Amino acid sequence: MIRISQLRADVIRPACRLVGWHAPAAEDLLVGTFLAESLLAGDTCLRQLGGGPALGIFQMEPATHDDIWRHWLGYRPEGERVRALTPAGHGFPRAENLVFNLLYAAAMARAHYRRVPSALPTHGDVDGYAAYWKRHYNTRLGKGDPAEFAQRFRQFAT
């Protein structure tokens, strides 16, 4: 199991700071996203169970990854800072980086939320984080449950 304090201090906070999108509420939201998307029965999943497409500790689908690059991040100055977290290459980074590059995975999860026009929930608002995650990350079609997000956050992140 990943220690949440280490994930926050060594991955999430540095990734958010490196790309210029740090905020305490963003840290909490990414911790909660990890707990809701990837922590299953105490194990951290790097690839979606059952053969699904989601990748990395934030379980981002390659189609979502590519859409973020094509329609948002590829045209923003922060895109170069995110790209710098991956091996040098031409074009957009490959989604496979989400599996083995924790800083990149955290930066892309933050980019996913950053492109949402509505403000982040107030720092410390766990139920607000859960609703925001469901609305903007897991979506209404996803199987995620905001109550489970909040329960896991309260159990593991506080």
pLDDT digits (tens, 9 = 90+) for 99-125: 999 999 999 999 999 999 999 999 999
Query: pLDDT band for position 146 (50/70/90)?
Result: very high
Instruction: With cut-offs at 50, 70 and 90, classify the pLDDT of residue 138.
Output: very high
Torsion over CA of 114, 44, 14 and 23, rounded to 10 degrees?
A: 40
43-52 tens-digit pLDDT: 778 888 878 8
Query: How many Å apart are CA 146 and CA 138, to the nearest integer?
Result: 10
Q: Count of residues for the chain?
A: 158
Q: Indicate the burial class of 133 (C-beta count within 10 angstroms; 0-12, 13-18, 19 or more).
A: buried
- Give the pLDDT of residue 140: 85
Cα angle, residue 110 at apex, residues 41 and 119 outer, rounded to 5°: 110
Residue 90 pLDDT more than 90? no
pLDDT of amino acid 70: 96
Mind giving me the DSSP string for 60-95?
B-HHHHHHHHHHTGGGSTHHHHHHTTS-S-SSSPPT
Q: Please give the share of the chain, as a percent, with pLDDT higher than 90.
A: 80
What domains does the chain contain, in order, with CATH numbers? Answer: 4-156 (1.10.530)
Give the whole-angstrom CA distance, residue 156 versus residue 158: 6
